[in-house]
Amino acid sequence: MNIKLLLVDALNLIRRVYAAQPGDDGPERVEGAITASRLSLQRALREAKPTHAICVFDSKEPGWRLRLYADYKAGRDPIPAALEKGLKEFEESFLKSGVSSFTFSGVEADDVIATLATKVAARGGNAVILSTDKVFIQLLDDFISLHDHFNDRDLDRSYIVGKFGVKPEQFIDFLALVGDKTNNINGVPSVGPKTAARLLGEIGTFDDILAVAHTIPGKVGAAIYGHKDEALLSRSLVTLQRDLSLGVNLQDFRYIRNVD
């Protein structure tokens, strides 16, 4: 059997759906988001036609990134209280559609998803990640794909090159330079997306750029040379873990259609 695993970045889906619901923060808005999220999941299942599927949630316990960098995700809007209270109901709703939910203590959903996708790809299977989080771009290859459910498009190689000017395999280096503002990862001052793409195209890898930073003219070279430690920290923070021991079996995520 050819394995095809659908990996849903659960809070990415839920929070975007919740934000689109009318009304104030409260039970009625949560109920609307539960229904809409379940319909979105069902659409993803119809389109992806997976053999296995799982909704991955973030752990409530602090992860390694926060221990490494105390300001990680600082300034991000907290999850609305009513929504957080109702997360178990989302899990129950997803289960009615044949998809279980998974949380690994002390580990972000991004790293769990990266590990599961990598393990499936290593077995010759295919993994489809449902998320709008650009951090997953670093995983893209012939076996791992990324789908933006809300804009109904695959964030494939040609899209990434056209939008960012770099290849997926360069994306960790790209983020190390420009940062990831959604997670309060700063990157290097004075280095924006266009500059980062140009440097990676002209010089090579992130390590190559650091090695010759003192020779790069102007404020860009001075910024990279003077913020080497911050850039190295940024690279660590944006790099997804792909080899976690999760203690789960792929069969736990087998998708059985028409559960309702």
Looking at the structure, tell me whether residues 121 and 11 fall in a common domain: yes
Q: Pairing relation of β-strands 52-56 and 100-102?
A: parallel
In a domain, 259, yes or no: no
Looking at the structure, tell me whether residues 127 and 232 fall in a common domain: no
Looking at the structure, tell me whether residues 247 and 228 fall in a common domain: no
Looking at the structure, tell me whether residues 17 and 39 fall in a common domain: yes
Q: What integer pLDDT is reported at residue 88 of this predicted model? A: 96
Q: pLDDT, tens digit, for every residue of 211-249?
A: 999 999 999 999 999 999 999 999 999 999 999 999 998
Burial of 199 (0-12, 13-18, 19+ CB in 10 A): buried
Q: What integer pLDDT is reported at residue 241 of this predicted model? A: 97
In a domain, 260, yes or no: no
Q: What integer pLDDT is reported at residue 256 of this predicted model? A: 82
Domain count for the chain, please give it: 2
- CATH number of residue 9's parent domain: 3.40.50.1010
Owning domain of residue 67: 4-159+240-253
Looking at the structure, tell me whether residues 12 and 119 fall in a common domain: yes
Buried b (16+ CB within 10 A) or exposed e, 119-155: bbbeeebbbbbbbbbbbbbbbbeebbbbbebeeeeeb
Looking at the structure, tell me whether residues 23 and 74 fall in a common domain: yes
Burial of 208 (0-12, 13-18, 19+ CB in 10 A): middle
Below-70 pLDDT ranges, the chain: 1, 258-260
Q: What integer pLDDT is reported at residue 258 of this predicted model? A: 60
- CATH number of residue 178's parent domain: 1.10.150.20
- Return d(Cα 49, Cα 257) in angstroms, integer: 10
Beta bridge partners, 55, equal: 8, 101
In a domain, 217, yes or no: yes
